Amino acid sequence: MASDEAVKEGREFHFTKKDFDRVCKLIYDHAGISLSDSKQELVYSRLSRRLRATGISNFAQYLALLESNDEAEWEEFANSLTTNLTSFFREAHHFPVLAEHLRSLRGKHPISLWCSAASTGEEPYTMAMTVLDALGRDASQVSIVATDLDTKVLATARAGVYPEERISKLPADVVKRFFQRGTGAQEGMVRVRQELRDMVTFRQLNLLDNNWSVRAPLDVIFCRNVMIYFDKPTQLAILKKFVPLLRNNGLLFAGHSESFHHADEYFKLRGKTVYELSPGARKQALENERRNQTRDVR
């Protein structure tokens, strides 16, 4: 690029390197997302839609609107720049591990699961299917909280309605048990059955917020394919905040391209992209649990 102010010919909106750098800072400060220079075209494409929707004629004015703390547009801005690639039973090797862990906890205490990047709902609903398969009638002791930064994908997740092709690779018995096919105006669509929807509570949550609307103790955290958008310091800060939420034998599930070796003070690898608390963190979790039990008895 010839200079910071260079722009591409033929673009609908004036978009400079300075504009891109402002976008990077805004989304990093707000959501911890770290954008590389290779994302300039993606940023231009996604945010151009917001300029059209707001009637703003250039990026400088649009970014000034954000910097004035326009709450409604901040939500649209964050929604535009978050990525929501997901599918049912994505990274399928995780779900037998989850099922085994659930069976080991059967009858011991209410079981709490957190899906921290719910997107359009396929992941938490897959968790719910796994719960029902693993525990059967005892599934009622399990609750799932599913969160995401993007409010639009959460609306889709709550509805639980998807194009039929989203389930095309699932076994026929899974489709029959857990989905209803649409008819009439809804032909070509499917809906997750009510028993699954009843198991999952969806909430908006920013992992960079100081306070999370998720309460300990948790038995499982799914945080898959999220950390790749954060730099190492941000990853470490989030992982550190996971620790006091987990029971001493809790599990953390990561994405296929994510590694938390830099957080070995808090987590150690248990299996393929499945982590458990490190010895020091587990000792602290046990002490917290004993303290809470003593408080409950009093």
Q: Which two tokens stand for residue 236?
A: 């470490």
- DSSP secondary structure string, 106-121? TTTS-EEEEES--TTT
- The CA distances from residue 65 to 13, 70, 78, 145, in Å, are 16, 6, 14, 33
Q: Is 217 in contact with 114 (CB distance < 8 Å)?
A: no
- Which candidate in 19, 22, 148, 219 is catalytic? 148
- Which candidate in 21, 46, 70, 166 is catalytic? 46
Q: How far apart are CA 166 and CA 125, in angstroms?
A: 13
Nearest alpha-carbon partner for 73 in 44, 53, 46, 58:
53
Q: How far apart are CA 52 and CA 104, in angstroms?
A: 53
3 state DSSP class of 55: coil
- DSSP secondary structure string, 171-196? -HHHHHHHEEE--GGGTTEEEE-HHH
State the Rg of the chain over Cα: 21
Pairing of strands 161-163, 189-192: antiparallel
To the query of whether residue 106 is one of the catalytic residues in this protein, the response is no
Sorted by sequence, the CB contacts under 8 Å of residue 3 that are 6+ apart come out as 17
Instruction: Give the position of tokens 């719960």.
Output: 131
The values of phi and psi at residue 26, to 5°, are -65, -45
To the query of whether residue 46 is one of the catalytic residues in this protein, the response is yes
> Buried b / exposed e across 215-243, counting CB within 10 Å, b at 16+?
eebbbbbbbbbbbebbeeebbbebbeebb
Q: Could you list the active site residues? A: 46, 148
